[in-house]
């Protein structure tokens, strides 16, 4: 592989990594949305033990995850809206 191709490949990889970090995709989701993931994780654990949830997605009014419950075929969408005092209001859509 010549230097130009290697440099182009390295630049592309760096751009993809930077984009993922900025948008909170992949492994960067836990870093970018740490506070939100912690709050949502506590909510899910309290209300749906043994459930798993998707990466956090930023929405117009806050954050959202999809919860998959063990033994259930249906999923739950949970929206977390931040309040002025640093807490979250949760809303479920089944």
Write the DSSP string, the chain: --HHHHHHHHHHHHHHHHHHHHHT-TTHHHHHTHHHHHHHHHHHHHHSTT-EEPPPEE-SSSEEEEEE-TT-S-EEEEEEEE-TTS-EEEEEE-
Q: Give the angle 42-46-48 at the CA atoms, nearest 5°.
A: 110
Q: Domain of 4? A: 1-32
**Are residues 28 and 39 both part of a single domain?**
no
Residues 45 and 79 in one domain: yes
Q: Which residue has the higher pLDDT, 68 or 16?
A: 68
Q: What is the tens place of the pLDDT at every residue in 25-75? A: 567 788 889 999 999 999 999 999 999 999 999 999 899 999 999 899 999
> Do 12 and 38 reside in the same domain of the chain?
no
pLDDT score of 93 more than 50 = yes
């Amino acid at each position: 592989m010549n230097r130009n191709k290697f440099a182009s490949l390295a630049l592309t990889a760096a751009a993809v990594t930077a984009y993922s970090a900025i948008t909170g995709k992949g492994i960067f989701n836990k870093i970018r949305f740490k506070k939100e993931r912690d709050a949502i994780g506590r909510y899910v654990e309290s209300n749906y033990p043994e459930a798993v949830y998707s990466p956090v997605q930023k929405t117009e009014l806050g954050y959202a995850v999809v919860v998959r419950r063990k033994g259930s075929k249906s999923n739950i969408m949970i929206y977390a809206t931040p309040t002025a005092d640093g807490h979250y209001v949760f809303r479920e859509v089944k």
